[in-house]
Amino acid sequence: MTSPSTAAVTALAPETLQSWITEHQDLVLIDVRSAAEFESMHIRGSYNVPLQLLSEHTDELAARLGSRVVLVCQSGVRAEQARQRLAKAGIEAAYVLTGGAPGYAAAGGDVVKGKNRWDLERQVRLAAGSLVMLGLTGGKFVSPKIRTLAGIIGTGLTFSAATNTCAMGKVISAMPWNKTAKEPTRESAILALPVNTGLTAKDAQAS
């Protein structure tokens, strides 16, 4: 592993990923979105390891990864969170796909499409916006105390931005409509990954 000062941690353009998929056999694509989002549409050949599962088994996952890892989500936010966790576990050379899976599809990349669902980030925006509207409307027509709800949501969103986390997202991801027939587990997701190729981050940078 290389030190953080020399690690090749950067954003990766969809067009670059398309060429990497054909050129590098050691490439591992990790999609950290929910199982439902992954089922809706994902990059062909990617592995679904939802962020929560990755967070619970970061060290075990890191031990199985080689040096050329690309992290994918919907927009890049969750993939960056995953990159930070993997970096602490020793995976310093990782890449976050710019624009996420939708950006890759828009660039003409090979994707697998399934049942259409709203992505988790869109659901979070809808829930937060609805609660703020409910708080303001209820505060005007029912009781001023209900306006507190809007303040709570605003505080939560500010905390979410400051810490790069999303408690509401975790709650919504557990809702029945976001569940699939086969939720990824340690055995089906992490242990299904190919074994570490043995290449170092320095080898990846040199190539």
Strand ranges inside 24-87, DSSP E: 28-31, 41-43, 47-48, 69-72
Predicted local distance difference test score (pLDDT) of residue 156: 76
> Token pair of 20, please?
């990497």
Q: Where in the chain is the domain with CATH 3.40.250.10?
A: 10-117+180-206
CA 51 remoteness from chain centre:
6
Residue 84 makes CB contacts below 8 A (sequence gap 6+) with none
For the chain, how long is the longest CA-to-CA vector? 65
Predicted local distance difference test score (pLDDT) of residue 199: 43
**Going residue by residue through the chain (207 aa), what tens digit of pLDDT does each one get?**
444 433 444 899 999 999 999 998 889 999 999 998 999 999 999 999 999 999 999 999 999 998 789 999 999 999 999 999 999 999 988 999 999 999 999 999 999 998 776 777 777 888 888 888 887 888 777 788 787 877 888 787 787 777 766 777 778 777 777 776 578 999 999 988 877 644 433 343 333
- B/e letters for 184-196, b = 16+ CB within 10 Å, e = fewer, are beeeebbeebeee
- The torsion defined by the Cα of 70, 197, 189 and 12, in degrees rounded to 10, comes to 0
Superfamily of domain 10-117+180-206: Rhodanese-like domain (3.40.250.10)
